[in-house]
């Protein structure tokens, strides 16, 4: 079952996209798309993959593939912690 997350956008969409893309790529993953929509793939304790769309206030993320032992809540907490730095 996919994880559906909604992350508040604390900055403009371009800045958020750059932050998220850099974090994923620093961990060996890839991001395809732009600040409005795209997909991501990351090998981190298993495969984490999905898609995202962004409107002016919220980034909507659908994690379609993740390790069974990683919860949707853990993914959301990780993303929120990366946006604070």
Exposure of 82 in the CB half-sphere (CA atoms within 13 A):
19
- Residue 85's pLDDT band (boundaries 50, 70, 90)? low
Q: Kindly state the helix (H) or strand (E) to which residue 84 belongs, with its residue range.
A: helix 72-84
Question: How many angstroms separate the CA atoms of 25 and 31, rounded?
Answer: 8
Predicted TM-score (pTM) of the model is 0.82
Q: Give residue-wise pLDDT tens across range 27-38.
A: 899 999 998 999
Which residues on neighbouring strands pair with residue 61, listed in sequence order? 5, 52
Structural domains in the chain plus CATH codes: 3-84 (3.30.310.80)
Closest alpha carbon to 76 in 48, 57, 35: 48
pLDDT tens digits, 8-50: 877 777 887 888 888 889 889 999 999 899 999 998 788 999 9
């Amino acid at each position: 079952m996919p994880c559906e997350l909604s992350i508040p956008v604390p900055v403009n969409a371009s800045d958020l996209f750059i932050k998220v893309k850099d974090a994923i790529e620093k961990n060996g993953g890839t991001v395809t798309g732009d600040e409005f929509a795209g997909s991501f793939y990351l090998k981190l304790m298993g495969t984490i993959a999905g898609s995202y769309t962004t409107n002016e206030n919220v980034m909507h993320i659908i994690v379609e593939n993740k390790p069974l032992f990683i919860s949707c809540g853990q993914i959301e907490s990780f993303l929120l912690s990366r946006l604070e730095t």
